[in-house]
């Protein structure tokens, strides 16, 4: 590692107009109220502006993901200066292969809810939800017939552990939410 690399300052996150986000058109097409994309902001880190869509209309919450906790902290601070992002909170991930998220608005649906519930929560149009569900149902099934190969069994046990962790985390968030008077 060179000295220049070691002393290089960490890039600072910044906000840009929503239309500068690389995923602006994508979200504009998905949302039931496309004007929410215009009301959003592009959170820029490492020269990649990604859209943060505010709550409004049927959209009750949102999130954006970051690989580094320090980046999530910067993004939360920046989004706190913009209207439409109430209840900003960081959801820290203890897993290296999973991103940290900055969430806003109401708490999202429980993980076991179906895709339609999630789509409605995030304010996606009926057509976008239907297309997603249709495309998802056409993908190969992840179910295995017995007997399962050993690698599949170890994967399923990992999924069961992750599911238990998610349930535990959801319970912790509900307790914290109650103790903080409904704010996180």
Say yes or no: 120 and 172 in one domain.
no
Same domain, 13 and 71: yes
Looking at the domain assignment, is residue 109 inside a domain?
yes
- Residues 169 and 84 reside in one and the same domain: no
In the numeric block, which tokens belong to residue 133?
């569900």
> What are 73-91's pLDDT values in tens digits?
999 999 999 999 999 999 9
Total number of domains constituting the chain: 2
52 lies in the same domain as 101: yes
Same domain, 13 and 60: yes
Residue 67 falls inside a structural domain: yes
* Sheet arrangement for strand 89-91: 61-66, 100-105, 89-91
- Assess whether 125 and 42 both reside in one domain: yes
- Report which of residues 162 and 132 the model is more confident about: 132
pLDDT the model gives residue 138: 64
Domain interval for residue 184: 143-184
- What pTM did the predictor assign? 0.69
- Residue of 155 and 69 predicted with greater confidence: 69
Same domain, 127 and 171: no
Check whether 128 has a pLDDT greater than 60: yes
Instruction: With CA atoms as reference, report the closest residue to 64 among 32, 99, 37, 94.
Output: 99
Is there a contact between 100 and 93 (Cβ–Cβ < 8 Å)? yes
Residue 2 lies in a domain: no
pLDDT digits (tens, 9 = 90+) for 138-171: 655 554 444 444 444 444 444 444 433 343 344 3
Task: Specify if 184 maps to a domain.
Answer: yes
The pLDDT value recorded for residue 32 is 98
pLDDT tens profile 17-30: 999 999 999 999 99
Same domain? For 102 and 180 the reply is no
């Amino acid at each position: 590692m060179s000295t220049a690399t070691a002393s290089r300052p960490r890039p600072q996150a910044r906000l840009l107009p929503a239309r500068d986000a690389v995923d602006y058109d994508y979200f504009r097409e998905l949302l039931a109220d496309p004007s929410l994309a215009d009301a959003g902001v592009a959170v820029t880190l490492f020269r990649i502006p990604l859209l943060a869509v505010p709550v409004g209309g049927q959209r009750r919450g949102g999130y954006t993901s970051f690989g580094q906790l320090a980046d999530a902290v910067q993004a939360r601070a920046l989004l706190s200066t913009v209207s439409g992002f109430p209840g900003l909170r960081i959801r820290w991930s203890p897993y290296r292969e999973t991103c940290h998220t900055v969430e806003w608005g109401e708490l999202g649906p429980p993980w076991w809810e179906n895709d339609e519930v999630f789509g409605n929560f995030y304010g996606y149009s009926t057509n976008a939800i239907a297309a997603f569900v249709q495309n998802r149902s056409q993908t190969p099934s992840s179910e295995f017939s017995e007997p399962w190969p050993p690698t599949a069994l170890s994967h399923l046990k990992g999924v069961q552990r992750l599911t238990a962790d998610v349930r535990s985390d959801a319970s912790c968030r509900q307790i914290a939410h109650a103790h903080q008077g409904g704010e996180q």
